[in-house]
């Protein structure tokens, strides 16, 4: 069977002849962007064949690209020999991001995190001295264990899995009955998770499942210390970039299973990596807390998500009962109880209830704040101790480089900032990791459009200046594009451009977010200026330049110090609920208290959206900087 090696990562896999490159990449755990779901129309799964035999109809690509060995991974079959393929859209794992997740903890107000007195993870441990059996006492090993356990914990009823019963006779005799029982307590009952002779460290995993990125933290439960953090791209991105395309993809049962497996592969891959690094067995992780949007949770659990798209937009489950890791397929101890953050609405999930734990919204009795999660699915909550209202809007993947001709994620080779010379119109680009630019990431797109607009090369409707004043604007009858990096100067000699269609995508994305904010505020008779704080969550929000966001009409003209960037607030919330019963209860209360508004039924929303489809807006006074 042919062996395929994927570059730049170097992962290899053996597959039967005739396998599609995209399917082989999924099997090998190589994330390849496939926003069109493998239909051969988006062009994002571009790969270059370096050696080996493949079958690809080159009519699907421009002649120049096909001649240079480029193919679409979703339409290319492996024929034979060992194939080496360079996957251009494979997002490289960003080593630098690893520490950023732990930095997120420092970005929040420490008082909002569980303190030493709050540490009450679901997994607990107790030392037991189980008496030796005596002739004629009629008690089994399990009877004696259970009696001792009940006396020590006060818990009369306990569920015990088979593998604990299997190991109990040997463990009890190994250390003369001196053992440690690991258990979870819920509603006056106990679930025995494991039994040991040695006093092992209690570890847990906090997991954030984003549509784009998955983050995992390994936490020592007794102290709350984060031992290691990892992030990786959600393996599901090879089946669609946003939640809607994944819901569509999951319509067939086999594909739902595929999506479940892909996200599990990502989570388990990260857990195993951390375990290897920490020199521990992943089955020694005894607690897990997961946060994710409503669709991600349904997909993780293999629950058909299609009703999320159909009126009245109902998911299979909002508040997931405690589940065992083994039933989900997590590679931690199979008996581990898994807590999943509750969702609020079809498009407002546990990532938001989790993120809100990093804010003072729930306890603020004076001001009113806004929590804004800038992602492919934009979600926002406005409120304080008295009330909370939330809504969601589909911004599309433009903020993360998706749906943009030369868009890419914020990884090595991405243009992250641009300065344009007002005289020549030539751009100076700043590239992540240095080197030749391969594309533009979200912050680069915002910087570029803001520069074009403020230097007069782009008008309020998002049309490029066709006067010839800027030599970098290339126009055809119907379209125009700005050449950010000319041919021959980008990675692989490619040019990097932004087209009017890309700019239009961005304007729609920022229009959707801003109009959702303004519609919600109008609903409660408020305006932006009456907000005491705007919390911005999401990996992308972290690198947002407030000035540029104001210039383009994404963020309102408030004082700079009213904006607070939280980074990945969802994983911080998962960390808190992993450790503390108080935080789990608070999160449930947040979910109960948010009134979810469906914007599609709000008559004002369309008017607000239309007004926001300009740079910055039909009412530019909303975006003047306040001091």
Q: How far is the CB of 42 from ligand FES (least distance, A)?
A: 4
Between residues 389 and 501, which has the closer beta carbon with respect to ligand FES?
501
| Helices H / strands E in the chain, number of each | 16, 27
| Nearest residue (CB) to ligand FES, 39 versus 610 | 39
Query: Residue 327: enclosing H or E segment and its boundaries?
Result: helix 325-328
The only residue of 4, 15, 34, 216 in contact with ligand FES, by rule CB under 6 A: 34
The yes or no reply on residue 20 touching ligand FES (CB under 6 A) is: no
Q: How many residues bind ligand FES (CB under 6 A)?
A: 12
Q: Which is nearer to ligand FES, 62 or 547 (CB)?
A: 62
Give the strand pairing for 388-394 and 377-383: antiparallel
- Asked whether position 241 contacts ligand FES by CB under 6 A, the answer is no
The piece of 34-42, 145-153, 285-293, 505-513 that touches ligand FES (CB under 6 A) is: 34-42
- Contacting residue, 42, 263, 271, 452, with ligand FES by CB under 6 A: 42
Q: Which stretch binds ligand FES (CB under 6 A): 42-50, 122-130, 265-273, 343-351?
A: 42-50
Task: Report CA torsion sign: 34, 35, 38, 40.
Answer: negative
**Quick one: tokens of 59?**
């009519």
Pairing of strands 414-420, 439-440: parallel
DSSP 530: G
Strand, coil or helix: what is 260? Answer: helix
The owner of tokens 């994944």 is 246
Per-residue buried b or exposed e for 62-86, using 16+ beta carbons within 10 Å of the residue's own CB = eeebbeeebbbbbbbbbeeeebbbb
562-581 footprint of ligand FES as x/- string (CB under 6 A): --------------------
State which of positions 284-313 bind ligand FES (CB under 6 A).
Answer: none
Q: What's the rounded Cα separation, in Å, for the pair 259 and 250?
A: 7
Which residues, at least 6 apart from 96, have a Cβ–Cβ distance to it below 8 Å?
Answer: none
Residue (42 or 513) nearer to ligand FES, CB: 42
d(CA 120, CA 5): 46
Q: Does position 41 bind ligand FES by CB under 6 A?
A: yes
Q: Which stretch binds ligand FES (CB under 6 A): 32-40, 62-70, 90-98, 464-472?
A: 32-40
Which span (35-43, 329-337, 563-571, 586-594) binds ligand FES, by CB under 6 A? 35-43
Task: Write the binding mask 47 to 86 for ligand FES: x where contact by CB under 6 A, - elsewhere.
Answer: -------------------------x-x------------
Place of tokens 């607000």: 608
Residue 36 or 491: the one with the smaller Cβ distance to ligand FES is 36
Residue 71 CB, shortest distance to ligand FES, in Å, is 10
**CB 57 to ligand FES: min, Å:** 13
Judged by beta carbon, residue 41 or residue 151, the one nearer ligand FES is 41
Q: What is the CA radius of gyration of the chain?
A: 27
Does residue 616 have a cis bond before it (omega within 30 degrees)?
Answer: yes
Nearest one of 230, 358, 247, 359 to 294, comparing CA atoms: 247
**Residues contacting 311, CB < 8 A, separation 6+:** none
Q: Which is nearer to ligand FES, 505 or 551 (CB)?
A: 505
CB of residue 236 to ligand FES, shortest distance in Å: 13
Distance between CA atoms of residues 420 and 201, nearest Å: 55
The residue among 89 and 108 lying less far from ligand FES, judged by its C-beta, is 89
Q: Is 404 in the site for ligand FES (CB under 6 A)?
A: no
Question: Smallest gap, in angstroms, from Cβ of residue 15 to ligand FES?
Answer: 18
Which of 38, 224 has the CB closer to ligand FES?
38
Interhelix angle 603-611/500-523, rounded to 10 degrees, is 140
Q: Which two tokens stand for residue 117?
A: 């007195």
| Exposed e or buried b per residue across 237-251, where buried means at least 16 C-beta atoms within 10 angstroms of its C-beta | bbbbbbbbbbbebbe
For residue 23, state whether it binds ligand FES (rule: CB under 6 A).
no
Is 36 one of the binding residues for ligand FES (CB under 6 A)? Answer: yes
C-alpha to C-alpha distance for 360 and 379, rounded to whole angstroms:
17
Q: Which is nearer to ligand FES, 40 or 169 (CB)?
A: 40
**Shortest separation between residue 257's beta carbon and ligand FES, angstroms:** 20
Which range in 39-47, 223-231, 359-367, 405-413 contacts ligand FES by CB under 6 A?
Answer: 39-47
Q: Does 45 bind ligand FES (CB under 6 A)?
A: yes
DSSP annotation of 426 reads: P
How many angstroms separate the CA atoms of 608 and 333, rounded?
50
44 makes contact with ligand FES (CB under 6 A): yes
Q: Does 40 bind ligand FES (CB under 6 A)?
A: yes
The C-alpha atoms of residue 482 and residue 552 are separated, in whole angstroms, by 17
Q: How far is the CB of 37 from ligand FES (least distance, A)?
A: 7
**Residue 417 in contact with ligand FES, rule: CB under 6 A:** no
Cis geometry, peptide bond prior to residue 421 (ω within 30 degrees of 0): no
Residue nearer to ligand FES on the CB measure, 90 or 352: 90
Choices 43-51, 227-235, 404-412, 534-542 (CB under 6 A): range interacting with ligand FES: 43-51
Q: Is 237 in the site for ligand FES (CB under 6 A)?
A: no
CB of 78 to ligand FES, least distance (A): 15
38 binds ligand FES (CB under 6 A): yes
Q: Which of 290, 237, 293, 224 is nearest to 263 (CA)?
A: 237
Pick 36 or 107: Cβ nearer ligand FES: 36
- Residue 72: CB minimum distance to ligand FES, A: 5
Helix (H) or strand (E) holding 244: helix 243-249
Q: Which residues pair with 565 in a beta bridge?
A: 536
Rule CB under 6 A: is residue 123 a binding residue for ligand FES? no
Q: For residues 217 and 270, is the Cβ–Cβ distance under 8 A?
A: no
Nearer to ligand FES (CB atom), residue 75 or residue 481 = 75
CA dihedral 459, 462, 464, 465 (to 10 degrees): -20
Question: What's the CA gap between 433 and 456, in Å, rounded?
Answer: 30
In contact, 82 and 51? CB cutoff 8 Å: yes
Tell me, rounded to whole angstroms, the distance of Cα 600 from its chain centroid. Answer: 25
Does residue 43 belong to the site contacting ligand FES (CB under 6 A)?
A: yes
Q: Which is nearer to ligand FES, 208 or 400 (CB)?
A: 400
- Contacts to ligand FES by CB under 6 A: 34, 36, 38-45, 72, 74
């Amino acid at each position: 069977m042919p062996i395929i090696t994927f570059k730049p990562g170097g992962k290899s896999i053996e597959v039967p002849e005739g396998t599609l490159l995209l399917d082989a990449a999924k099997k090998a755990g190589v994330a390849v962007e496939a926003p069109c779901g493998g239909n051969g129309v988006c062009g994002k799964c571009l790969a270059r064949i370096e050696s080996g035999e493949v079958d690809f109809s080159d009519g699907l690509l421009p002649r120049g690209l096909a001649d240079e060995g480029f193919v679409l991974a979703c339409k290319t079959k492996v024929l034979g020999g060992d194939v080496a393929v360079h996957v251009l859209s494979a997002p490289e794992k960003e080593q630098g991001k690893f520490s950023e997740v732990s930095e997120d903890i420092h970005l929040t107000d420490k008082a909002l995190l569980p303190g030493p007195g709050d540490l009450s993870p679901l997994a607990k441990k107790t030392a037991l001295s189980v008496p030796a059996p005596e002739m004629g006492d009629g008690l089994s090993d399990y009877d004696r264990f259970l009696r001792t356990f009940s006396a020590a914990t006060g818990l009369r009823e306990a569920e015990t899995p088979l593998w604990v019963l299997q190991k109990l006779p040997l463990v009890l005799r190994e250390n003369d009955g001196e053992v440690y029982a690991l258990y979870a307590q819920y509603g006056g009952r106990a679930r025995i998770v494991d039994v040991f002779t040695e006093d092992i460290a209690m570890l847990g995993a906090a997991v954030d499942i984003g549509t784009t990125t998955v983050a995992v933290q390994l936490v020592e439960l007794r102290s709350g210390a984060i031992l290691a953090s990892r992030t990786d791209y959600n393996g599901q991105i090879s089946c669609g970039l946003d939640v809607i395309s994944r819901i569509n993809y999951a319509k067939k049962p086999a594909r739902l299973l595929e999506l479940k497996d892909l996200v599990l592969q990502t989570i388990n891959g990260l857990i195993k990596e951390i375990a290897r690094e920490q020199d521990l067995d992943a089955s020694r992780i005894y607690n897990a807390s997961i946060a994710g949007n409503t669709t991600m949770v349904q997909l993780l659990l293999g629950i058909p998500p299609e009703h999320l798209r159909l009126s009245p937009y109902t998911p299979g489950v909002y508040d997931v009962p405690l589940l065992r890791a083994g039933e989900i397929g997590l590679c931690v101890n199979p008996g581990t109880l898994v807590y999943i953050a509750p969702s609020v609405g079809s498009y407002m999930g546990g990532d938001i209830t989790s993120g809100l734990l990093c804010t003072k919204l729930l306890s603020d009795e004076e001001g009113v704040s806004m929590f804004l999660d800038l992602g492919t699915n934009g979600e926002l909550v406005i409120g304080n101790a008295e009330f909370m209202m939330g809504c969601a809007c589909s911004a599309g993947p433009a903020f993360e480089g998706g749906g943009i001709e030369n868009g890419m994620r914020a990884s090595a080779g991405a243009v992250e900032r641009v300065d344009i010379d007002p005289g020549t119109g030539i751009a100076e680009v700043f590239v992540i990791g240095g080197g030749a630019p391969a594309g533009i990431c979200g912050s680069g797109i915002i910087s570029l459009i803001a520069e074009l607009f403020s230097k007069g090369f782009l008008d309020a409707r998002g049309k490029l200046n066709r006067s010839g004043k800027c030599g970098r604007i290339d126009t055809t009858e119907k379209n125009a594009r700005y050449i950010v990096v000319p041919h021959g100067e980008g990675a692989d000699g490619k040019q990097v451009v932004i087209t009017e269609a890309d700019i239009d995508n961005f304007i729609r994305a920022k229009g959707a977010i801003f109009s959702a904010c303004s519609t919600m505020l109008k609903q409660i008779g408020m305006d932006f200026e009456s907000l005491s704080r705007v919390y911005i969550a999401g990996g992308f929000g972290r690198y947002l330049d407030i000035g540029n966001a104001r210039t383009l009409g994404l963020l309102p003209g408030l004082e700079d110090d009213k904006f607070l960037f939280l980074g990945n607030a969802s994983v911080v919330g998962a960390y808190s609920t992993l450790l503390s019963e108080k935080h789990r209860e608070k999160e449930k209360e947040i979910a109960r208290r948010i009134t979810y508004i469906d914007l599609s039924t709000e008559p004002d929303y369309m008017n607000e959206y239309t007004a926001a489809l300009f740079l910055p807006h039909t009412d530019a006074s909303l975006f003047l900087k306040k001091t």
